Amino acid sequence: MNRWIRKTFVVLITILTFGIVTPSQAFYTDVNVNKTQKRNAFEATSSKNQQTQQLQTEEAKLDKVDLVAQMIKEAEEQSYRKFGNRILPVIKDEFQEMILPNIEVAIKNITTQYPEEALSSLTISETPSGGDGEKIFNIIDNDTGKDIIRFHVRKDRPPQAGFWFNFHYHTHHDNFQTHHDLGSIYWDKNTPPKWMN
C-alpha cells in the first residue's frame, strides 16, 4: 500500500507542476558530459588504433626495405667473391656503375611478388662457382628449398672483340630458361683468369 501512495503522490505533483518546474540544468550537463566523454574516449581509441596500424605498416615497409637492402649487400659481396683477387680490381668500378643497379632492380622485382611475411624465407646462396662456372648467387625460398632466381656471369668472346663478362639472370617462372640480360663488361684481348682466383 505504501508503494501506491508514493506513485499517486508523484503523479499528482507532476500534474500540478506541469510546465512550472523545469528539470535541472545539471541533469542536462551530466548527460552531455557523459556523451562527450564517451565520444572522446571512442575517438582516442580509434585514433590509437589508426596510429598503431600506421606504425605497423611503416615497420613492415622498413622491414621489407631492410631485407631488400641486406640482399643487395649480400649480392655485392658474393659477386666480389666470384671475381676473385685478379678480376675484381679490373672490373669493380664498372660492375658498381652498370651491373649492380640492374641486380638491385631484379631483386626488388622478385621481392614484390612475395607477401611481406614470406620475404624472411628468401635467402642468398653462399657459394659462387669457381673455375669457369657461371653461378654468382641464387635467391632461394627456404620454405620450399627451391631457387627463385639465379644470377650468372658468362665469359663471352665475340669474333675479333676480345673477352667480355656477360651478366644475366634466370627465374623460376619459366624453369630458368629465359636469359635476362643485366649488361656486359669488357675484359681484354687476353683470356681472363678463372673465377675466384
Backbone angles phi, psi at 88, to 5 degrees: -50, -50
Percent of the chain residues past pLDDT 70, beyond the cut? 70
Backbone angles phi, psi at 104, to 5 degrees: -60, -45
**Which 3 state secondary structure label does DSSP give 105?**
helix
pLDDT range class, residue 126, cuts 50, 70, 90:
confident
Q: 158 or 44, which is more confident? A: 158
pLDDT range class, residue 169, cuts 50, 70, 90:
very high
In the predicted model, is pLDDT for residue 77 greater than 80?
yes
